[in-house]
C-alpha cells in the first residue's frame, strides 16, 4: 500500500509563504508582491494565502512582523529600559531609522496604509514610542504635552528615513538622523540648552502624566482632573486661541 503524503503543518505553510513574500519584496520590490507571485514562490495555491492571511495587507503585516523580529534580534543594543529615558528614546529612534533604511520597500509599503488601516507593527511601534515619551513626562523633562511630543518624534523619524532613502547611498549625510533627533529634543525637552518656551509649563505637563496613577481618587475625579489638565495645556499652548 502506498502511503499518502502528509499535509504540511499549517504553521509550516504560513512560514513558507512569509519567507517567499519577504524574498520577493527584497529582491524585486513592492510591485512584485502579488498574491499570484507569492503563491508561486511558496509552492501553494493562491486561496491558501487568503485563508491564512485574509488579504494582501494581512500578508504584508505578517512580513513586517517577521522582518522586524529578525531585525531586532540581530541588534547588539538592548531592548530593555536603561533607567535613562532620553537614552532609551535615542536607542529606539536609532533602531527605527536603521530598520527603515535596511528595509526600504517594506517601509514604503507600510507607509502607504491609511490611518484606519495601520499595520499592527506600526501601531505597536507608536505604542512603544508613547511609553517612552510618558517616561520623559513623568521625569519632568517635557515642556510640551505628550501627544505633541509623540507626534513630533514620529514625524521626524519617518521624515529622516524617507529623506535618506531618496538620496543615493554614497551621498547620504551620515549625521542627519542624529542631528534631527537632537533638534527634536531641543523642541520638547526642558533640559536642552535652548530658549525656554514661556507658553508651556513643564510642571503642568509632568502632573498630567502622573495624574492617572494618583492614589485616593475616584474614576470620576481622575476624569475631571484629566479634563482640567487638558484644557490648561490647550490654553497654555494657544493663549490667544
In the predicted model, what is the mean pLDDT of residues 22-26?
Answer: 91
- The tens digit of pLDDT for each residue in 154-201 reads 999 999 999 999 999 999 999 999 999 999 999 999 864 334 444 455
Quick check: 82 pLDDT over 90?
Answer: no
CA distance 22 to 198: 49
Q: Which range, 7-11, 85-89, 227-231, is most confident?
A: 85-89
Contact call for residues 161 and 105 (beta carbons, < 8 A): no
More confident residue, 6 or 112: 112
The residue with greater pLDDT, 182 or 215, is 182
Report residue 134's pLDDT band, with 50, 70 and 90 as the boundaries: very high
**In the structure grid, which three cell numbers stand for residue 115, read together?**
490611518
Average pLDDT over residues 223-241: 58
Which whole number is the average pLDDT over 119-133? 88
Q: Which of 8-12, 119-123, 161-165, 199-203 has the lowest mean pLDDT?
A: 199-203
The single residue listed with the C-alpha cell 497654555 is 236
Structural domains of the chain ordered from first start: 10-56 (1.10.10.60), 75-237 (1.10.357)
DSSP, collapsed to helix, strand or coil, labels residue 142 as strand
Query: Taking 90 as the threshold, does the pLDDT of residue 136 lie above it?
Result: yes
Amino acid at each position: 500500500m502506498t502511503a499518502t503524503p502528509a499535509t504540511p503543518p499549517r504553521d509550516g505553510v504560513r512560514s513558507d509563504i512569509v519567507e517567499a513574500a519577504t524574498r520577493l519584496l527584497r529582491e524585486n520590490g513592492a510591485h512584485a508582491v502579488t498574491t499570484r507571485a507569492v503563491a508561486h514562490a511558496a509552492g501553494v495555491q493562491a486561496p491558501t494565502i487568503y485563508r491564512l492571511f485574509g488579504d494582501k495587507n494581512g500578508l504584508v503585516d505578517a512580513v513586517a512582523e517577521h522582518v522586524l523580529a529578525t531585525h531586532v534580534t540581530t541588534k547588539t543594543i538592548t531592548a530593555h529600559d536603561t533607567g535613562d529615558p532620553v537614552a532609551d528614546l535615542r536607542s529606539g529612534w536609532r533602531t527605527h531609522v536603521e530598520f527603515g533604511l535596511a528595509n526600504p520597500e517594506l517601509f514604503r509599503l507600510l507607509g502607504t496604509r491609511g490611518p484606519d488601516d495601520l499595520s499592527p507593527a506600526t501601531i505597536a511601534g507608536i505604542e512603544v514610542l508613547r511609553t517612552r515619551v510618558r517616561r520623559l513626562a513623568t521625569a519632568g523633562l517635557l515642556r510640551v504635552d505628550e501627544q505633541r511630543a509623540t507626534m513630533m518624534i514620529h514625524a521626524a523619524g519617518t521624515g529622516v528615513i524617507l529623506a535618506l532613502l531618496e538620496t543615493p547611498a554614497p551621498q547620504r549625510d551620515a549625521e542627519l538622523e542624529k542631528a534631527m533627533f537632537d533638534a527634536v529634543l531641543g523642541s520638547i525637552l526642558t533640559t536642552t540648552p535652548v530658549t525656554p518656551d514661556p507658553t508651556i509649563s513643564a510642571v503642568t505637563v509632568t502632573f498630567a502624566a502622573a495624574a492617572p496613577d494618583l492614589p485616593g481618587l475616584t474614576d470620576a475625579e481622575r476624569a475631571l482632573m484629566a479634563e482640567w489638565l487638558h484644557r490648561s495645556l490647550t490654553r497654555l499652548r494657544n493663549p490667544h486661541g
